[in-house]
Structure 1
Amino acid sequence: MTSSPASITVRNLTADEWQQYRQTRLRSLVDSPNAFGSTFAAEKDRSDEAWATRLLLATSSGKDHPLVAEIPDVSNEFAGLLWAKEDATDTSIVHIFQMWVAPEYRGQGVATELLRAAILWARSRCAKLVQLGVTCGDSAAMRLYLREGFRAIGTPEPLRPDSALLAQTMRLVLEQTPAAKDIFPGK
């Protein structure tokens, strides 16, 4: 296990960071091709306009919460990425996508910080459930989600069409506390 960095900063991506987002997203797909429903081949040829629009729409929608982790004074690259999104038809559900930590920062708490920030955002929206998919197996991702209280629901399904890999849907039931509602009034 690598020692923890002095500090991990988790923050929202901004619309003007689409190039860094693209770089990080493509790097994640190359590094961990069996962790995502999408592939490098499917995303590498997107136009600059498509990447910029994707992030602009997300950062202005109020329903998306793209996050990055940074290690201040260590690197100009993002240490990790996570995209939280309110369900299109049921606002009581928040989905987690694109969770990834750069290999050089794994084992240092980056994934935990990203996940907890997304869960806090879900609570602020009075969501009742946080849901994600994870490739089946004894992985650091699976262990993280179990440790944070996620539980498997349903049966595993193919990670993507024509894939032999299976993904398990996992869900965290959120208990709303008065403190969470007080922190984020208006919900």
Structure 2
Amino acid sequence: MISIRPIAPHEWPTYRDIRLQALRDSPDAFGSTWEAEATGRDEHWSTRIASATAGNTDRALFAVNGDDVCGLVWCKLPAAEPGIADIYQMWVHPAARGQGVGSALLGEALAWARSRGSHRVRLGVTANAGSPAMRLYLAHGFLPVGQVEPLREGSELMVQAMELEWNAPVSHREAR
């Protein structure tokens, strides 16, 4: 049984391990690289999760199957852009793919963003119309916006920006 839950501050080592595993498993899916993040000190990882859990602008989520973390997503509300949310770090462990984990993670992140007053959610996905990630985002109502751009400096891979927009944000009271 898959469950989705927020990452707790003390779980920074698990977050670090899952994030690095995601970067190693799916290097073409992220703007960052395993090489860039693997040298991060423990303080970097613990501070990242502590900051996310201490405020109201970040929601870092794990997908869990029994005792095993099998997925990750991060949703952020940029302070300079009210009503907007960004999705980052979406990843599902290869053994859990095809079981609805990605949809559950994304659904929970979207529900949180909407409950915080967001009316638009943005993300980037490696440009490949037939990829499972692209199909997932399209199935949730995301639409491509703008031109494709390089995934990262020096990469031949391209990323497509996508957005999901709701007609009106849900207030905090309505979401609960």
- Range of TM-score over shorter length: over 0.9
Alignment of 1:7-156 (within 5 A): 7-72=1-66, 76-137=67-128, 138-156=130-148
> Structure 2 counterpart of 1:14, which letter?
A
Equivalent pair of 2:117/2:169 in contact (CA under 8 Å): no
Deviations 1:39-73 (A, max 9, x none): 0000000000110011101111210000000012x
Aligned length: 175
Equivalent pair of 1:29/1:36 in contact (CA under 8 Å): yes
Equivalent pair of 2:6/2:62 in contact (CA under 8 Å): yes
1:8 Cα shift? 1.4
> Structure 2 counterpart of 1:25, which letter?
R
Q: Secondary structure at the match of 1:156?
A: strand
Distance 1:178 1:62, change over 3 A: closer
Distance 1:177 1:85, change over 3 A: closer
> Structure 1 counterpart of 2:12, which letter?
W
Quote the Cα distance in structure 2 between the aligned partners of 1:60 and 1:43. Answer: 22
Using the TM superposition, name which of 29-38 and 84-93 deviates more: 84-93
Distance 1:181 1:175, change over 3 A: farther
Deviations 1:113-156 (A, max 9, x none): 00000010011011010100000012100000001100000001
Distance 1:112 1:122, change over 3 A: same
Distance 1:180 1:59, change over 3 A: closer
| Structure 1 spans left out of the alignment, 5+ residues | 1-6
Quote the Cα distance in structure 2 between the aligned partners of 1:81 and 1:175. Answer: 27
Quote the Cα distance in structure 2 between the aligned partners of 1:162 and 1:45. Answer: 21
> Structure 2 counterpart of 1:172, which letter?
L
The equivalent residue for 1:3 is: none
1:177 Cα shift? 6.8
Match of 1:160 among 143, 152, 160: 152
| Structure 2 spans left out of the alignment, 5+ residues | none
The sequence identity of aligned pairs, in percent, is: 45
Quote the Cα distance in structure 2 between the aligned partners of 1:41 and 1:18. Answer: 19
The equivalent residue for 2:162 is: 170
Deviations 1:64-103 (A, max 9, x none): 000000012xxx3311000000023112110000000000
